[in-house]
A and B are shown apart, each in its own frame.
Chain A
Amino acid sequence: MNKLDVSSLIRQMLESAKKVLADKWPAVKDLATSSFKTLAQSLVDIEEMWLNGSITEEQAHLLLDLHKNTVKITLLSEEIIGIVAAEEAINAAIDSVRNAVNTAIGFELL
């Protein structure tokens, strides 16, 4: 049985993701790279434990499921943080023109 190699797994996953994501790749590059590194390490750990006979096939599946859920939770957090940042940017933009607009229009429009 071939032993898994972390670097090679990461490289393969990055290449596939880059092809699928195309022009969207720069936006998700950092997050994807970090997620693939963790996934690759998890897969190597699972393989090591399987080869040592310290886990069953069912446990290997459960660990992978734990990993998938964790990646989803992390992505949701990134999404929440991004939405809050967008919200703050929009409100800062409104705040920056508030005085000028209210003065120009003569009442508190904003």
Chain B
Amino acid sequence: MYLQLTKPKQWLFVFVVPLLLVSCHVVLIGAYDETVDESIQKISTDVSTMIVKIEKNIDDHKPDDNKYENFRDSYIEIFGEIETLKIRSNSLPKYTKVTEQVELLYKNIQDLESLHKIGFTDKKLVETAKGLIEQSLQAMLAAQNALKREKS
């Protein structure tokens, strides 16, 4: 015998069953993670401090102080921080997009390091690289703010 449904019951099947299938609370992307957010902020501070130092050396006409060897330890520290952040984001559910961002940030710092190895003597070059890296970090922090899912 066919199941006979009254109008309200039909309504429930049409609207409620799809809602049940997607559960009562939908989660499409990972929850906000304070450690990830703080790590991005720490990397942002460290990268900005390093680039400001490079710019200051150019302004003060101290090209020898801008040699890559003088900044090698700073790069190692920043790469270490990004690796740690990558391990953290990889361990979180539904965090693949954030992990992709972290991998791209790593590539950006590698490019910055390669530029530095060739030589940072031109202020415009440093400013262009700084602008792009800052834009990357700001975009990553904007995504973290969205993940907080705060309602205005």
Q: Give me the interface of A with B, judged by CB distance under 8 Å.
A: 38, 42, 45-46, 48-49, 54-56, 58-59, 62-63, 65-67, 69-70, 72-74, 76-77, 79-81, 83-88, 90-91, 94, 97, 101, 104-105, 109-110
Contact = CB atoms under 8 A, between A and B. Distances in A.
B29 A91 contact: no
B1 interface: no
Q: Which of B28, B97, B118 has most A Cβ within 10 Å?
A: B28
A7 B105 CA distance: 29
Shortest beta-carbon contacts, A-B, top 4:
A54-B122, A77-B139, A77-B143, A80-B143
A56 B118 contact: yes
Given A74-B135, A79-B97, A110-B24, A66 B29 contact: no
B19 interface: yes
Given A55-B125, A101-B12, 7 more contacts: A63-B125, A63-B128, A76-B139, A81-B143, A83-B29, A84-B146, A94-B26
B19 A81 contact: no
B52 interface: no
A73 B129 CA distance: 15
16 contacts: A55-B122, A58-B114, A62-B118, A63-B111, A63-B128, A70-B133, A73-B101, A74-B136, A76-B101, A76-B143, A77-B142, A80-B146, A84-B147, A84-B149, A90-B22, A105-B16
Contacts of B8: 104
Interface residues of B, number: 44
Contacts of B22: 90
A59 B98 CA distance: 28
Contact of A80 (B27, B29, B107, B121): B29
From B111, B114, B129, residue with most partner A Cβ within 10 Å:
B111
Contacts of B107: 65, 69
A59 B107 CA distance: 15
Contact of A87 (B24, B29, B114, B128): B29
A30 B51 CA distance: 30
Interface in B4-48: 8, 12, 15-16, 19-20, 22, 24-29
Interface in B110-136: 111-112, 114-115, 118, 121-122, 124-125, 128-129, 132-133, 135-136
